[in-house]
Structure 1
Amino acid sequence: MARRGAPQSSGISFRQLNRTLKRGDIDPVYLVVGEEVFLRNKAIEGLRGVVCGEDESNLAFHRIDGKLGKMAEFLDAARSLPLFLQATDRPCQLVVIRSFEPGTAAESELLAEYLDSPVSATCLVFEAPTLDSRRASAKLLTNRATKINCQRIESTAEVRRWIENSANARGFSMAPGAIDYLLEMVGLELQQLSQELDKVKLFAADRESMSANDLEKLLGRSRSHSVFELTDALVSRRAVSAVQVLNRLLDDGEEPVRLLAMVSWVVRQLITACDLSSRGCPERELLSQLGGRWNQRRVIAKAAAECDLGQLEELLVRCSESDVAVKTQRGPGSRGVLEGLCRRICAA
């Protein structure tokens, strides 16, 4: 059944949304917002399953690009029902505005009119990674639509629980060591973790619990994983580990030029974090300006706070100067250049 209660601006979690949908409670207007694209997609997928049911014609599902369309177009779609659909007290069509960006004041007035009298047969969803809270349309949706919070999960403990629950939902369990291995391989990105869990599900078949050894046999230690190990060691300033991983990668046939690019990337991240930190940038904003896995960004920020900006900039110059040497020298020559850079970064 559709609900008309006034939503709280603080919003609800993806898990809370699932609980309400299982009860058959569907609100007329939703705001799905947050940096975690996996959760945004799953929220829309859940709404589609409940609203559209087993409709394979897609006539009850409409997706509109929020960057290209206008508010009038969005609301016309919400008010217009396909001929085969009959207006009911329960939403039977889903209209999703992807990558919504708040528009003009006039458009916010149109939105306010719709929110005063939403179409009961339509579930209208506005989706975006972030919204400018100063814009009138953003304020209206935050305060009057049902807000689904899809923020990136930053806590390793929370991601561990998510992995446990996701594995159980797929019909298998994972030993603590297996979860550790998966986190080491993939990091905290839910989309990648979900894809790996799908692979594990095919292998798990009749097993009661998956161990770390099971996952290593299935997923292996990929070269990209070793590259992650190198960047992690550099960011954590563990010189011995960094050189060991570097040499392993070179022995496995990794191109020195690609490894130099990864080393240079670490230096640039440290420079960005050091510069922003010195200017008093709030932590959340600082982390959003960095690249890499979210937990790694925190390590970068912490390491940068202890670095000298001038010294880091000199390191970046050395990385640039090393480019020619790495491209022209083979074997021990390029290896020595890269080892030297790794040690300098860890000592910065």
Structure 2
Amino acid sequence: MTIYLITGDDESLVLEELGTRVHELIGDGDRSLMLDDYDAEKSTVEEIEIAVRAAVDAANTLALFTERRVVVLRHVNVPKVDALQPLVGYLASPVAATDFIFTATGAVAKSVLDAIKKAGGSTVATAVSQKPKERELWFREQLELAGLRLDPHAISAINDTLGNDTGRFPGIVDTLLSTYGTGKKLSYDDVVIFLGESGSTAPWHLTDAIDSGNTGEALKVLHRLMHAGEMHPLQVMVLLHRHFERFARLDGENVSSPADAMALLSIRSEFPARKAMQQAEKLGSDAIAQGIVLLADADVQLRGQRDWPEELVMEVLVARLSRLAGGARRNRAISRQR
């Protein structure tokens, strides 16, 4: 029996740690049979109480086809003390064959903290040390866990650029994996272009702006990347190709959870997997296919088929991709109103 409480102010780091712990507990087991995932961050008191009771009921139920069950209850800091009584009662006599993981991005009720401690649980804090040497060691460990190999100068560049702004780190890991994979050792030059140096911005700000359908912001970020960030248009193309490639791989597959998306996309982080799954669903098959065609056309144009400046090719591409995402959002909104 394992009980974890994962805490931290940064949701992305909490999710990273949650993904790691779930992977450790399930191992080669079947996630669909072993994992029950609940979230207490709901809009009404009744929904919060239902989520807590459902998690407790799952923890009390012995698995039929596996030796163990893993139960996750996210945002255990949200429920009031009364709503947490079923959980406190469970922790007084937890089921030996159930592993329970809680996450919290705020203060947790003392009754729950005491119950977790008495049950032999452990608290895993995701807060990163503000001391430069300790922080650099943390970056190194997280990169290794993600399957990335960086030379010391590249790791130092991440540490020096991000400082204590570690919330940006999962996005950098996702970008490096999308761009290079895990097959090569990355140098300083490979990494520094994605760090969002002074006067520049982080590459994932571009894909976020495109996904939101904000054409003006997407073009603004594109200009900052190619000018202050000194990214070549072909490097931006790689970033966008990988981004839409994930949507294409998810489209039409039976993906019902971030864990399924992680397995399909061969990534170890829940945060980018969840984002890709949600955006692929929002876009739909037609918009994803159109995006792939737009990327292919722009790639040919960059290689000389059309006598346009490279920056203009990228501006047109980013504007079209952004409008594509915005159109998909409007279509969904209209469908809901009918």
What interval of TM-score do these two structures reach, taking the shorter chain for normalisation?
0.3 to 0.5
TM-score by length of 2: 0.47
Over alpha carbons, which structure has the higher Rg? 1
